[in-house]
Amino acid sequence: MRYYIGVDTEERMSHNESKHVQTELSEDEYERFRTFAEEHGLSLEEAGHESVLEWIERQQQADPNDRAFTVLDELDSDRARRQHRRTHGPRTTSSTNGTGVTRPSRSPTTHPPRPDSDG
């Protein structure tokens, strides 16, 4: 069985500019909706109207996890890492050399030239 809820989105300025919205609910959805409205002392029409307005408000709020809000932080982090590398040089990597003990890798070292043994 399907239940239909009509929502009157009447604009308060004029009773002639009223719009009606209708939706279809399963029996379980309808019971949940009816119980909620009853618990809050609302008619189904009032609860539906408030639900629609609340949903619109939530949809129009900015999502702080949206990449549009985090991209500047990412750029700042990248810039800070590049600056750190310029100031402190590249990171050294680590190696276990098969021993299970982590040892920092060494930069190639230059040795002073050896004296000639010929002479």
Task: Give yes or no for a contact between 73 and 63, defined as CB atoms under 8 angstroms apart.
Answer: no
Number of domains the chain contains: 1
CA 77 to CA 66: how far, in whole Å?
Answer: 17
Cα–Cα separations (whole angstroms), residue 30 to 8, 40, 65: 17, 15, 33
Is residue 41 in some structural domain? yes
- Phi, psi for 111 (deg, rounded to 5): -100, 145
- State the pLDDT at residue 113: 64
Size of the chain, expressed as the number of residues it contains: 119
Is residue 107 in some structural domain? no
| Statement: residue 9 has pLDDT above 60 | no
For the whole prediction, is pTM greater than 0.95?
A: no
| Statement: residue 108 has pLDDT above 70 | no
Mean pLDDT of 77-100: 73
Is residue 93 in some structural domain? no
Higher-pLDDT residue of 61 and 11 is: 61
pLDDT digits (tens, 9 = 90+) for 30-68: 999 999 999 999 999 999 999 999 999 888 887 777 777
Task: Give yes or no for a contact between 4 and 26, defined as CB atoms under 8 angstroms apart.
Answer: no
Is residue 65 in some structural domain? yes
pLDDT digits (tens, 9 = 90+) for 18-34: 888 888 999 999 999 99
